């Protein structure tokens, strides 16, 4: 559109004049002159129309070109503004998201570390408490005095008594009928009615089942009464015996001592160990 202002109208006029026909020798001078004059007037009027039209077109094209340039400039300015805004928002969003991600990672790391530390602390504390309990238990067992009495003339220490020493009871005193315990006895008193053979043998040969049971009941009561005379009020009585006896079942009705029956070597070890805690609590 910028080439329109460069058109020179004077050249257009020259071009139009050049197109006018020359008079021929055969024509009349007057008629030719009139015709030429009319043609010139016509051409002048056409040229004026063309000049007016061209001027109007030029003005329209100039104004259109100016509007297009202004619109284009406004479009470019608007796009530049939009790009600046997008760039700013993008940078802000990247900063916010990046900052939030960093903060989230930091918080998550702190929470994980704290949780791990708490778990480790709990585990360590649990293990420490377990070790403390084990040490305390072994300390109690090692300091507990056990009097082991076998109502027999056999001076050989039973294997069950030796097992107590193996378990960790450092203060086990063995007694029998030839060497009976003396007051005060220790923390636990074991009455061994299994290795003594007191409830079996020739004494029960030829007796009826009822008489044999009654005689065993009498022997059990006799040995328990003997043991009760030696016991201290805080001593735990462990009765090592096979079978069930009325005297043992009804013992709670006539004594205030802690007592418990047991019928096997493994059970004996566990019961004596548990009784050590009972005796320890009694003394505190």
Q: Within this chain, do residues 69 and 176 fall inside the same structural domain, yes or no?
A: no
CATH of residue 221 = 3.40.50
- The answer, yes or no, to whether residue 40 has pLDDT greater than 60, is yes
Q: Which of 59, 82, 105 is the last residue of a domain?
A: 82
Q: Say how many domains are in the chain.
A: 2
Q: Within this chain, do residues 44 and 166 fall inside the same structural domain, yes or no?
A: no
Distance between start and end Cα atoms, the chain: 115
pLDDT band per the 50, 70, 90 thresholds, residue 26: very low
Tens of pLDDT, residue by residue over 113-127, are 777 778 788 878 887
Q: DSSP state, 5? A: G
Q: Which of 61, 82, 103 is the last residue of a domain?
A: 82
pLDDT band per the 50, 70, 90 thresholds, residue 35: low
pLDDT band per the 50, 70, 90 thresholds, residue 27: very low
| β-strands 188-192, 258-262 pairing | unpaired
Is 68 part of a structural domain of the chain?
A: yes
- The answer, yes or no, to whether residue 201 has pLDDT greater than 70, is yes
H-only helix segments in the chain? 9-18, 29-143, 159-167, 209-230, 246-249, 265-283
Is 105 part of a structural domain of the chain?
A: no
From 57-61, 173-177, 222-226, the region with the lowest mean pLDDT:
57-61
Q: Within this chain, do residues 167 and 254 fall inside the same structural domain, yes or no?
A: yes
**In the predicted model, what is the mean pLDDT of the chain?**
78
Residue 215: domain span: 144-283
Q: Which residues face 51 on adjacent strands?
A: none
269, 261, 282, 163: which is closest to 174 by C-alpha? 163
Task: Tell whether pTM > 0.75.
Answer: no
Q: Within this chain, do residues 183 and 275 fall inside the same structural domain, yes or no?
A: yes
Please say whether the beta carbons of 11 and 47 come within 8 A.
Answer: no
Cα 251 to chain centroid distance, Å, stands at 55
């Amino acid at each position: 559109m910028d080439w329109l202002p460069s058109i020179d109208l004077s050249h257009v006029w020259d071009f139009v004049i050049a197109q006018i026909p020359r008079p021929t020798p055969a024509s009349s001078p007057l008629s030719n002159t009139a015709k030429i004059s009319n043609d010139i007037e016509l051409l002048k009027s056409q040229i004026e129309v063309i000049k007016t039209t061209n001027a109007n077109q030029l003005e329209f094209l100039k104004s259109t070109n100016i509007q297009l340039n202004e619109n284009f400039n406004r479009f470019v300015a608007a796009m530049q503004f939009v790009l600046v805004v997008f760039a700013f928002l993008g940078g802000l969003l990247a900063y916010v998201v990046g900052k939030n991600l960093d903060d989230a990672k930091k918080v998550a790391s702190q929470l994980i570390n704290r949780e791990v530390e708490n778990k480790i602390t709990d585990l360590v504390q649990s293990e420490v408490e377990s070790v403390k309990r084990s040490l305390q238990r072994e300390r109690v067992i090692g300091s507990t005095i056990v009097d082991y009495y076998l109502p027999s003339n056999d001076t050989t220490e039973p294997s069950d008594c030796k097992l107590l020493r193996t378990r960790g009871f450092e203060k086990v005193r063995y007694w029998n009928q030839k060497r009976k315990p003396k007051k005060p006895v220790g923390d636990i008193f074991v009455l061994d009615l299994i290795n003594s053979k007191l409830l079996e043998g020739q004494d029960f040969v030829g007796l009826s089942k009822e008489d044999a049971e009654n005689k065993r009941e009498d022997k059990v009561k006799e040995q328990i009464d003997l043991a009760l005379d030696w016991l201290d009020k805080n001593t735990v009585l462990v009765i090592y015996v096979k079978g069930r006896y009325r005297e043992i079942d009804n013992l709670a009705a006539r004594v205030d001592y802690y007592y418990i029956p047991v019928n096997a070597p493994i059970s004996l070890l566990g019961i004596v160990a548990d009784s050590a805690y009972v005796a320890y609590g009694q003394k505190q």
